[in-house]
Amino acid sequence: METPKQNHINKNEFDHVYEPAEDSYLLIDALEKDLQYLKSKNPTYCLEVGSGSGIVITAFGMAFPKTVCFSTDINLKACSMSKSTARENNVILETINMDLGSCFISNKFDVILFNPPYVVTDTEECASCDITASWAGGVKGREVTDRMLGLIPKIIANNGTFYLLLIEENIPDEVISIMADYGFSSEIIIRRRVRNECQLVVKFFHHKTKWLKCQSSKM
Ligand SMILES: C[S@@+](CC[C@H](N)C(=O)[O-])C[C@H]1O[C@@H](n2cnc3c(N)ncnc32)[C@H](O)[C@@H]1O
């Protein structure tokens, strides 16, 4: 996958918007590693939650020019930057300033991407709409992520795939178990140590039998 051009961004803008870092590139690398699988799915709709500079969703849009791309961010300045990154790279992107994907009640996405604020902090820190929202993850660094997990079954297509970046402090096994209760199977696509942080990208997808069981138990 190609790395989007970012020359249009003035460095000072990263005082307000998350600057692409190792985690951003790890998510892109995970998508690249899973490219054949993604191509076989021929996704119609892709959503990136918390798109920041827009580098990840733009890379996705460049690789899948027929997919309709959406992104959200709680930080308004990040929404503008995502939009301009997409435009500079000839990707059409609909960007919405919102909490997670909460307004997409009747939309179903084939692919959902999330590199969340994952740093362990006090709960109070993870309620902002500015640059702090880029990293402050509250208890276990999971407060924002856990809210997103609850939303996934409502906004993902039946055959959809969710890619989530985590660090070891987020206790990935717990996340995997929460998603298993929603009927999702999982696979760790990529793992990398960056300084003192172990980052990984987990892919969640519907295991046919489990998913059907989960649906029928809701009836
Ligand atoms: C770690 S940064 C990742 C940015 C970008 N996706 C990347 O990989 O470079 C997390 C992003 O999530 C956004 N974010 C945090 N809480 C959010 C929420 N409740 N709803 C939407 N976006 C949120 C932040 O503003 C930030 O842009």
Mean pLDDT of 67-83: 98
Quick check: is 198 in a domain? Answer: yes
* Domain containing residue 55: CATH number: 3.40.50.150
Sign of the CA dihedral running 155, 101, 96, 26: negative
What domain count does the chain have? 1
For ligand 1, the distance from its centroid to the CA atom of residue 33, given in whole angstroms, is 23
**Residue 99 CA, closest ligand 1 atom number:** 20
Query: 28: alpha, beta or left, given left = phi > 0 and alpha = psi -120 to 50?
Result: alpha
**How is residue 30 written in tokens?**
């995970």
Quick check: is 91 in a domain? Answer: yes
Q: Report the range of poorest mean pLDDT among 97-111, 133-147, 168-182, 197-211.
A: 197-211
**How is residue 162 written in tokens?**
């969710």
**How is residue 48 written in tokens?**
């990136």
Q: Are 23 and 165 in contact (CB under 8 A)?
A: yes
For ligand 1, the distance from its centroid to the CA atom of residue 115, given in whole angstroms, is 7
Query: 183: alpha, beta or left, given left = phi > 0 and alpha = psi -120 to 50?
Result: left
Question: Nearest to residue 52, comparing CAs of 11, 83, 30, 31?
Answer: 83
Mean pLDDT of 17-46: 97
Helix (H, G, I), strand (E, B) or coil at 196: coil
For ligand 1, the distance from its centroid to the CA atom of residue 62, given in whole angstroms, is 21
**How is residue 5 written in tokens?**
């051009």
As a whole-number percent, the residues of the chain with pLDDT over 90 amount to 89
Quick check: is 82 in a domain? Answer: yes
- Phi, psi (degrees; rounded to nearest 5) at 47: -125, 130
**How is residue 130 written in tokens?**
């500015």
Quick check: is 151 in a domain? Answer: yes
**How is residue 141 written in tokens?**
């660094």
- Considering only CA atoms, which residue is closest to atom 2 of ligand 1? 134
pLDDT tens-place string over residues 159-181: 999 999 999 999 999 999 999 99
Q: Tell me if the pTM is above 0.85.
A: yes
Quick check: is 115 in a domain? Answer: yes
Band (pLDDT 50/70/90 cuts) for residue 215 is low
Q: Are 31 and 43 in contact (CB under 8 A)?
A: no
Tell me which residues have their CB closer than 6 angstroms to ligand 1.
18, 20, 23-24, 27, 49-53, 55-56, 72-75, 78, 99-100, 115-117, 133-134, 144
Residue 81 belongs to domain spanning: 11-218
Quick check: is 80 in a domain? Answer: yes
